Amino acid sequence: MSSGGGWSVAVFHLLRLASRVLILLLIGALGFVFFLTKRFDSAAFQSDLSHRFSKGVAASEAQIAGFKREQGRARIRRIGAEGTSASFFQTLEAGNLNFKMTFLNGLSGDWDVGIIEGNWIDVQVKAGANSPEEAAAAAETLFKRRRNFDVLGLDFSKARVTWGYDKRVGEIEGSKMSAHRVSEGWRFNFRGGRFTQNWIRDFEIEEMVMLCTPNELIVEKGVLVADDGRIDFKDVKIKGGELPQISGRLILKNIPIESLLPEKILERIDGSISAELEFGGSTNSAEGLSLQGPVTLGEGDSIQIRDEIPILKALDVVDVFNSYKRVPFTRGGFNLKTGGGEMLISGLNLETRDQVSLQGRLSVSYPTDNEAARTIGENSVDMIRPMTDDREERQAKKDITLRRAADESKVEENAVENSEFFAGLASKRDAESLRRAAAMRARNTLNFDGGFRMTIPGDAFERSRILRERYPIDQATSRIGIDIPLRGTLSELTLSQAEAILRDGGSND
């Protein structure tokens, strides 16, 4: 209209109008991009992200610290969460995470996170639930797909996963972990690191592959190694629910005894064994997980008892014809059963090449709660008190020191990481580490009950008439039989009997 009907003037006006609109649109677009960029730095966005994380894992409280977005990926320095009755964990922490994130993610629509990669993760998994409803809620939290934050997998360089409680603890420590969604649920893979469960401790993980479904956890492949020995998991399954039930077998081949027995006992005994043991029990019961089956001395196996045991030291003094400094049993076996903090050895029958033999039974149990309280104290403060130079306690304190040093080094990087919330999680984790170390330390004050019958060469007591009368030669075997009662703590075993042998060993004809 202003052109007076001239097309050239009209086109000029239209172009000028279009350029102004274009400038406005460009300014708006730049403003929108600026908003999208800056919103990642806002407290509101990070609070919303923490809320999404907390809701996704059914946490009572969760925090995200050190968030930023760069090169199309979200990067988080640290996350933490405390579980509820609907979660599958009690505490969860992870560090140095990164995953896919576009400008529009978190604003609207679906958010395909893909694989979350991270440096470390520390999660305390629940041993079970208080009711079927709680178990179902925890399963839904773990397996439910969420369009607004859909995770397809996890990949962590170092993972620590713990389960159980008191003396029935289990742990995977320092392992490379990957997890991927499959049609049935999640498939977890662990390589490297250490595995501990009840009496089996600190085995190196060659590989563990586990399929986790809403109904059960299946160990598809499990191989643990220690020195020249290995443990294979066969048909191991854990049925889900408030009382998860485990079944399957463990095949032990040339397993070093040091990986099965308390540290203090190793001053007296070493060697290796083989076995096929049945797995049973529940992670959420008083008995805990159990193992039972026959143990054999196969090819390359032996059980060597040293003269740190008082009665062997005494025999080595009074018997001038035979040595008892190291008694190597190379034939035989026994039946083994563990559960509820107790190890039962029955039907034991071992022999050396020179026909020294040992028969009998023995139960080894943790001290009662009152006994343990007197030994290690009833709270975390008492647990710190030096009781023994025990490797589990030393390692626990070392881990705590390293974690605290790492946390303190981040003060200048992000003060939020040193918030009261993360400090509380660290305190709970440290207390749990100390409780586990205390439980392991209690292994060195185990109670023994049972007895063995040991046979030794018939000329052992040639120098002592009293000992020959007390321990006569069996005419059928031409050997001397000695009944050895085993009761009390480790330091008490065979001590009084050894003193009597030493006292009477010098009584000649």
Element (H, E) at 496: helix 495-504
| Amino acid in position 355 | Q
Give the span between the Cα atoms of 175 and 189, in whole angstroms: 9
Q: What pLDDT score was predicted for residue 359?
A: 96
Question: What angle in degrees, to the nearest 10, is found between the helix axes of 369-376 and 420-442?
Answer: 110
DSSP per-residue letters across 349-378: EEE-TT--EEEEEEEEEPPPHHHHHHHH-S
What tens digit of pLDDT does each residue of 180-222 get?
Answer: 999 989 999 999 999 988 778 789 999 999 999 988 999 999 9
Q: What is the 3-state secondary structure (H, E, C) of 73-91?
A: EEEEEEEEEEECCCCCEEE
What tens digit of pLDDT does each residue of 266-287 get?
Answer: 778 889 999 999 988 887 776 7
Beta carbons of 239 and 269 less than 8 angstroms apart = no
Q: What pLDDT score was predicted for residue 421?
A: 76
Average pLDDT, the chain: 80
| Measured CA angle at 90 (ends 85, 91), to 5 deg | 135
Residue that has been written with the tokens 């893979």 in this structure: 189
Q: For residue 293, what are the contacts with CB-CB under 8 A and spacing of at least 6?
A: 249, 275, 276, 277, 278, 335, 336
Beta carbons of 205 and 194 less than 8 angstroms apart = yes
Q: What is the pTM of this model?
A: 0.77
Give the span between the Cα atoms of 261 and 272, in whole angstroms: 11
Q: What pLDDT score was predicted for residue 412?
A: 40
Q: Name the 3-class secondary structure at 424.
A: helix
Among residues 244, 217, 249, the alpha carbon closest in space to that of 233 is found at 249
Element (H, E) at 143: helix 132-143
Q: Exposure pattern of 234-253 as b/e (b: 16+ CB <10 Å)?
A: eebbbebbbbbbbebbbebb
Q: What is the 3-state secondary structure (H, E, C) of 95-138?
A: EEEEEECCCCCCCCCCCEEEEEEEEEEEEEECCCCCCHHHHHHH
Q: What pLDDT score was predicted for residue 378?
A: 45
Q: What pLDDT score was predicted for residue 47?
A: 77
Give the span between the Cα atoms of 129 and 240, in whole angstroms: 10
Q: What pLDDT score was predicted for residue 66?
A: 83
Assigned token pair, 389: 């130079």
Q: Exposure pattern of 296-330 as b/e (b: 16+ CB <10 Å)?
A: ebeeebbbbbbbebbbbbbbbebbeeeebeebebe
Residues of the chain with pLDDT under 50: 1, 31-32, 34-35, 376-389, 402, 405, 408-415
Strands (DSSP E) contained in 164-298 are: 170-182, 185-191, 194-197, 200-212, 216-226, 229-239, 245-256, 269-281, 289-296
Give the span between the Cα atoms of 197 and 219, in whole angstroms: 15
Q: Name the 3-class secondary structure at 182.
A: strand
- Sign of the CA dihedral running 381, 386, 388, 394: positive
Beta carbons of 217 and 237 less than 8 angstroms apart = yes
Give the span between the Cα atoms of 67 and 357, in whole angstroms: 67
| Amino acid in position 268 | R
Give the span between the Cα atoms of 224 and 192, in whole angstroms: 9
Give the span between the Cα atoms of 93 and 71, in whole angstroms: 25
Residue that has been written with the tokens 């060469």 in this structure: 457
